[in-house]
Each structure stands twice: as structure tokens, then as C-alpha cells.
């Protein structure tokens, strides 16, 4: 007798089309491009554990139906390319760059799929010793063709291994995407979107730019980054706390938290104090809020939502807080300890690391708000002839200093608010009465009531009426 074993296997494989769609659905173009840049920055940081990125560059160019990002960040070795770099999701056995931004192993592929339907990658890697252990490769992929293949593989066009790169040859990677999606093509031709991209790159990677990385966007001139600054002097000390939070598996996240105020813009000092309450209501919040960096990549920009304490437990944002700035830097050797989501567009609120940091942000925000509130109260009660109180002089005149120059301070220190002057005792409310009467009748009344002056007659007759009719 023949016994047959029933087939117990169920096909749960993924359609590549579906996979590509799911992967790219939740990311927008700008974050996708920032994601590509993250890879280049990680490479550069890997080359310079000391953090000095001088000499490192990343060039982004687009137009004429293509998008290219090139860097000298060390390149991808053929071996890494073969086994890890193009896999979807990070393999457990891959030990990435310390203090990296990339973490999930989806950023580069997702970004490429988001931008277009065909791409090529060229990379040159010098190797650990630089002698006969370098590699070079290039590959080209047509996403449409790849989607109908069964295999989850790409093919090298050309690969050279165990070579030595010339000293002048830049070790790095160039990714070119062609056959752009029509919407992407339109976006990249839209000047406002290009401007938004420029701002996004400059802000998100401001720390790396500060550290010497040159970032070019369709230009020969590198982008500049603003240097986070707060008002600081002998009399004004912003909050600067340094502490560590333990993450899962014994890992440690280093935290630096800075918060305070920035100097008011020039024009604001001239606002008529009478008008202050009105005028400030129309002021743009601008850059006010919290900035949260994870491994120097900016995650929250000018955040004024409850996630950073606004409205809970601190007061909700109001224009009087427009000069508030807070900068929080989380860094960890293991990027998976950091509280970001996979698109690096939002924080992971459930992360215990973030909760601990969030709590510090909340109390710090309350403290800085309290300084601003006290100053506002002092401003409201200062009179023209008064000498301007030290607190207001300090907050109006103290210039900003880069936060890197600050000393630690658990509180925001400012000159004390002068005590309010006790109010004068309330003056009794009075109503004056004046009226004219016939002189003869006045004299009769004056005689009857025993009074001599007009004011006395007036008062006594009023009292008489009050006693008789009201009291």
C-alpha cells in the first residue's frame, strides 16, 4: 500500500511589487533623500572615530531625469556588498559603524525605490590595510525587471577584489537613480521643494557639517549649518545637563541637554511696551522649541508639542515663549538604543530611553518658562521712571553663545526678579455731588439742620435721607 504524506507547506512568500510598495509607502521624498545622506555620513564617521570630518564630502546632484549622490566616505567593500549592504533589513551578524545613524538596513534601498525605477551603484573601498585588500564594484538594476524575477539578488556588473587603490583615488560610493518616478521628477523641478530639501539637509545634519563635512546640493558651494546657541554670560546661565540613560541589554545612551533663551531680535527691543501683549500674539514662533538629535542626526525640529512637554506639564506654547530653545543630544555606540522610528522622522514614544529624557525635558521646559514668566511679570510692572531691572537687562541684552562653550548648570540662572512694590491701600470709592438751590430755601434748611456751609448742608441732608429711607 502506498501512503502519501500530505504537503504541509504553505507559501507565505512576498511579491516583490507588493514589498516595494509597502516599503516606500510611508516615506516621503525628502526624508528618503536624507536617509541616503545618512549612509554617507555614517561612512564618514566610521573613517574618523574622533569625530573630525574635515576632508569628507557628499555631493547630491539632480536634473535631466537622474538623481546622484556621491561621497568619499570609504566605500562599500565587495564582501559587504555581497552579503549585507543590499539585504533588506539588517542581519544580526553585521556589526555596523559605532555611533551610526543607519540602523535598520532599509534606508538606502527604500530611498532608491522611492526615487526611481533604475539605479546603479559604484563603489571603491581601500580595505583595512590599504594594500591588496581593496575592492571596486559596480552594478546596475532595473527595478521593473528585478520585480518579476524570483530571486532576491542583484548582479555585479564588474567586481575587482584584492587590489590596491591609488593614493589619489577617492574611496567612496556613487549611487545614481534614473528613470525617476514622474512625481519625483516634478518635485525635483519645483524650486520650493528644492529649497525645503536644502533646509532639511542643512538642519538634519548640522552637527556633521559643524564637524567639517562638506555637503553639496546641486552646487559647488557647500551648505552651511547654523550653530546652536543660547543666551549666556556672567549673569545668565542656560540649563546644561549631562547624564546617561541605560538602554536595553546594558547599553548606555549619553545625553546632553541644553535649554534657555536666545537674544530677542533687534526690532523686538523697540516694541512699545504698552503694545507688548498685543504685538507678541502675532509673532511667528519661528525656531522656538526643542531640537532632539540622535547620534548627531536631528530628529525633532523646533518641537512645541506635548511630546516635549508643551501643555503637559509645562504651559502650552504661547508667543511669550518664542525665545525658548532646547537642544538635546542622544548618542549611543549602538544606534538601536536610540528612540527613532524607521523613517527617522519621529521619536519612538514608547522607548524607555526617550521617556527618561522626556522627563528631563519637561522639568527643564517648566523651569525656563518660569524665567520667561517672571520676566514678563516684571516687565508689566516696571514704570517708565524706574531703573530697568537687572533681570530685564540680562534677558534683553545678553548675546547668544554656542552651546558647546557652556558650563553645566542644573537650573537656568538669571538675576533675581525685583520684588513687586506693595500696592497702596485702596482709596475709598466716592461720588461727588454738586447742585444749585434757591438761596432762601437753602437758608431755611441750613437753619433747621443747624449747619452753616453749603457743603455741610449738602452732607447732612444726604445723611438724613439715607437714614430715613435707605438704612
Partner 1 sequence: MMIVDACRRLTAIAPLVKYQYVGFGGLEFIDFVEFHRGLGVPQMTSIERDTNMQHRLDFNKPYKSIRVLMGEARDQLPQVDWTQLSITWLDYTDVLTTDILRDVDFVVRSSQPGSIVIVTVNGATTKVPVPERLSNLRASLGSHVDDSLTEKDMAGWGPTKLERSVLQATAHAAGRQAHGLPFRQLFNFHYADDAKMLTWGGITTSSSLDRTIDSCRFEDLHFIRGDDDPFEINVPVLTEKEIAYLETELVGIPTPLPQIRGISSAEIKAFAQVYRWRVGSR
* Residue 122 vs 360, nearer CB to partner 1: 360
In the complex, the smallest distance separating the C-beta of residue 331 from partner 1, rounded to whole angstroms, is: 21
In the complex, the smallest distance separating the C-beta of residue 143 from partner 1, rounded to whole angstroms, is: 44
* Residue 301 vs 367, nearer CB to partner 1: 367
- Which residues form the interface with partner 1 (CB under 8 A)? 312-314, 355-356, 358-360, 362-363, 366-367, 370-371, 373-374, 377, 410-412, 417, 419-420, 422-423
In the complex, the smallest distance separating the C-beta of residue 292 from partner 1, rounded to whole angstroms, is: 16
In the complex, the smallest distance separating the C-beta of residue 422 from partner 1, rounded to whole angstroms, is: 5
* Residue 118 vs 361, nearer CB to partner 1: 361
* Residue 338 vs 378, nearer CB to partner 1: 378
In the complex, the smallest distance separating the C-beta of residue 352 from partner 1, rounded to whole angstroms, is: 8
In the complex, the smallest distance separating the C-beta of residue 236 from partner 1, rounded to whole angstroms, is: 15
* Residue 123 vs 351, nearer CB to partner 1: 351
* Residue 235 vs 356, nearer CB to partner 1: 356
In the complex, the smallest distance separating the C-beta of residue 239 from partner 1, rounded to whole angstroms, is: 10
All residues at 6 or more sequence positions from 356 whose CB lies less than 8 Å from its CB, including other chains: 245
* Residue 132 vs 386, nearer CB to partner 1: 386
Q: 402-415 burial by CB neighbour count: b if 16+ within 10 A, else e?
A: ebeebeeeeebbbe
* Residue 199 vs 410, nearer CB to partner 1: 410
Task: For Cα atoms 452, 460, 432, give the angle at the middle one, nearest 5 degrees.
Answer: 100
* End-to-end CA gap in the chain: 121
In the complex, the smallest distance separating the C-beta of residue 269 from partner 1, rounded to whole angstroms, is: 23
Amino acid at each position: 500500500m502506498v501512503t502519501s504524506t500530505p504537503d504541509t507547506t504553505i507559501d507565505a512568500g512576498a511579491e516583490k511589487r507588493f514589498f516595494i510598495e509597502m516599503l516606500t509607502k510611508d516615506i516621503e521624498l525628502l526624508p528618503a533623500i536624507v536617509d541616503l545622506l545618512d549612509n554617507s555620513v555614517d561612512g564618514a564617521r566610521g573613517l574618523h572615530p574622533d569625530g573630525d570630518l574635515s576632508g569628507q564630502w557628499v555631493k547630491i546632484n539632480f536634473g535631466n531625469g537622474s538623481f546622484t549622490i556621491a561621497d568619499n566616505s570609504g566605500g562599500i567593500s565587495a564582501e559587504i556588498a555581497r552579503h549585507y549592504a543590499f539585504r533588506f533589513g539588517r542581519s544580526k551578524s553585521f556589526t555596523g559603524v559605532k555611533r551610526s545613524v543607519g540602523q535598520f538596513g532599509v534606508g538606502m534601498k527604500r530611498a532608491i525605490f522611492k526615487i526611481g525605477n533604475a539605479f546603479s551603484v559604484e563603489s571603491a573601498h581601500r580595505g583595512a590595510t590599504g594594500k591588496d585588500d581593496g575592492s571596486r564594484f559596480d552594478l546596475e538594476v532595473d527595478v521593473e525587471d528585478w520585480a518579476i524575477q524570483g530571486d532576491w539578488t542583484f548582479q555585479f556588473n564588474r567586481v575587482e577584489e584584492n587590489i590596491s587603490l591609488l593614493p589619489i583615488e577617492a574611496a567612496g560610493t556613487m549611487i545614481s537613480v534614473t528613470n525617476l518616478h514622474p512625481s519625483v521628477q516634478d518635485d525635483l523641478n519645483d524650486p520650493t521643494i528644492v529649497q525645503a530639501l536644502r533646509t532639511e539637509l542643512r538642519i538634519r545634519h548640522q552637527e556633521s557639517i559643524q564637524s567639517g563635512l562638506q555637503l553639496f546640493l546641486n552646487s559647488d558651494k557647500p551648505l552651511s549649518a547654523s550653530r546652536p546657541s543660547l543666551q549666556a554670560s556672567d549673569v545668565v546661565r542656560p540649563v546644561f545637563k549631562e547624564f546617561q540613560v541605560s538602554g536595553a541589554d546594558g547599553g548606555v545612551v549619553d545625553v546632553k541637554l541644553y535649554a534657555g533663551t536666545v537674544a530677542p531680535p533687534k526690532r523686538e527691543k523697540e516694541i512699545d511696551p504698552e503694545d507688548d501683549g498685543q504685538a507678541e500674539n502675532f509673532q511667528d514662533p519661528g525656531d522656538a522649541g526643542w531640537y532632539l538629535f540622535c547620534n548627531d542626526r536631528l530628529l525633532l525640529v523646533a518641537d512645541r508639542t506635548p511630546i516635549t512637554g508643551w501643555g503637559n506639564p509645562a504651559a502650552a506654547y504661547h508667543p511669550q515663549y518664542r525665545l525658548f530653545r532646547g537642544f538635546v543630544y542622544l548618542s549611543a555606540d549602538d544606534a538601536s538604543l536610540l528612540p527613532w522610528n524607521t523613517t527617522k522622522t519621529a521619536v519612538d514614544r514608547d522607548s524607555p530611553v526617550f521617556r527618561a529624557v522626556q522627563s528631563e525635558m519637561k522639568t527643564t521646559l517648566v523651569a525656563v518658562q518660569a524665567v520667561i514668566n517672571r520676566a514678563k511679570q516684571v516687565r508689566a510692572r516696571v514704570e517708565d521712571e524706574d531703573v530697568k531691572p537687572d533681570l530685564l537687562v540680562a534677558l534683553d541684552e545678553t548675546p547668544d553663545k554656542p552651546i558647546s562653550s557652556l558650563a553645566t548648570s542644573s537650573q537656568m540662572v538669571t538675576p533675581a526678579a525685583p520684588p513687586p512694590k506693595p500696592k497702596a491701600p485702596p482709596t475709598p470709592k466716592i461720588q461727588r455731588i454738586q447742585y444749585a438751590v434757591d438761596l432762601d430755601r437753602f437758608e431755611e434748611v441750613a437753619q433747621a439742620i443747624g449747619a452753616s456751609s453749603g457743603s455741610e448742608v449738602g452732607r447732612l441732608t444726604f445723611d438724613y435721607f439715607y437714614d430715613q429711607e435707605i438704612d
